[in-house]
Each structure stands twice: as structure tokens, then as C-alpha cells.
A = this chain, B = another copy of it.
């Protein structure tokens, strides 16, 4: 798998005129990587991810997955939104298996695969629950299992933990790392939480605000296992500070 974004531009027509959301974005993701893009609110993170997912079309530039240009959404690029977006009328198992059903897999074959991914996210005991019976963290785990069950080439995540409380968020971050290691999925995630980005990813793209463009690319090199303790590691703190300083220059207008 090889995702490449080349000279990507995206403009929106609004009542106030044309808004340049993304300007000359270049990035790439390789098989098995865990990449984060961080940026302030309104820097075009979601727009970028939507373009990669094929949910929207770029104004200029190209996105290629294994050298095939992206022309629309497809199951090779799974997506997890912040807002969970489970199908409320399906139980957890059916939610997880829905992608397979859409592509015509027989119920019996689905069953096996669904169970595997329910096990991966630790929700086997909730297979029959409806989404409304789950907490936010559980919902997001179902959404992740559902995306993984389709075996995408790359998993796109748009601030997946943004709506969770701090404790749940940290638990899920660790959980996501586990899943990543266990399944070997390639992940491109966007977030405004710098700590999250540093904690999770091997490489980070920092975006500028309005228009969004890539300000800097950093490789995160941390020693040992990534667990809770790593956050107190000076190198972790340094990475965080570096990115925060970069973003601070962008975030200032908020208080203007």
C-alpha cells in the first residue's frame, strides 16, 4: 500500500467568496505506518481526510492509492468519524459485519470475521447490544471494528477520540495502538490533540491554518513500548512542545 497526495488544492465557494481550505498539500503514507496530521480548528484537516477518502473532489492535485487515482470512496479506504456513526437499528455484530454484507458476503462467512474483530476490540460480550446501550468509548470501538472488518488498505480517522472524556480517550489511544500492532493496518489519523498525535504516530504532519498547508513533517522516535509512562519522557515532551509552538503561531487569531 502506498498513499500519495500530490499538490492538492481545495477551494470552497461560499457566500463571502472563495475559501482556500487546502493549499498545495503533499504527503505520503506507506504500508503499516501510523501517521497523524495535526492542525488547529479550521485548518482543513477534515477536508484533507475527506479528499483522501474520496468523499469530496479536489480542486487541483491528485491522490493516488497504489498509483491508482482516487475518484470516489471505496472499501480500500476505511473511515472512522468523531461522531461514531453507527447504524442505530443494527446490533453491534451487524454493525461490524455491515461492510461485508454490502459487498455480498454470505451471513455464515460474515459471522466468523465479525467475531474475530469483536474480539480484537474486546466487545464480544456486547455483540447483541444496540448502539444506544453503549457508552461513547464502546461506540467508537465498534466503529473501528466495523472499519477494520472490511480489511481496508488504509484506515482514515477524523478525530476519533475528540468526543470522549480524558480517561476514556487515553484508554482508547492505548487500545488503538494495540489493534494497530495486532492487525498491521495502515492508519492516517487527524487530530488537534498534539499529545495524542505524538503518543500514537510514527510520523506527524503539522498543518498551517487558513489556508491549510503542510508546515512541517516530523518523525517521532520514542524509546520502548508506548504506554502511559512515555508521556513523561523528556523526548515526548520535546516533541509536544515543538508542535505546540508551531501550532501556537497558527492558533493565535482565535483570541483576536
Binding site for B on A (CB under 8 A): 40-42, 122, 135-137, 162, 165-168, 171, 175, 192-195, 232, 237, 241, 247-248, 250-251, 254-255
Contacts and interface: CB of A to CB of B under 8 A. Distances in A.
A122 B254 contact: no
Contacts of A247: 167
Contact of A41 (B42, B168, B251): B168
Nearest to A38: B166
A137 B247 CA distance: 16
A167 B254 contact: yes
B122 A167 contact: no
A166 B137 contact: no
Contacts of A136: 41
B166 A194 contact: yes
Contacts of A248: 167
A168 B254 contact: yes
B167 A41 contact: yes
Contacts of A195: 166
Contact of A166 (B42, B165, B168, B192): B192
A251 B254 CA distance: 33
A228 to B, nearest CB: 8
Given A41-B165, A166-B192, A171 B135 contact: no
A16 to B, nearest CB: 12
A251 B192 contact: no
Contacts of A237: 232
Nearest to A125: B256
Given A41-B136, A165-B192, 14 more contacts: A40-B165, A40-B167, A41-B165, A41-B167, A122-B255, A166-B194, A166-B195, A167-B192, A167-B247, A168-B254, A171-B251, A171-B254, A171-B255, A232-B237
Nearest to A136: B41
Nearest to A245: B228
A122 B167 CA distance: 32
A193 B166 contact: yes
20 contacts: A40-B165, A40-B167, A41-B135, A41-B165, A41-B167, A135-B254, A137-B254, A137-B255, A162-B165, A165-B192, A165-B193, A166-B192, A166-B193, A166-B194, A166-B195, A167-B254, A168-B254, A171-B251, A171-B254, A175-B255
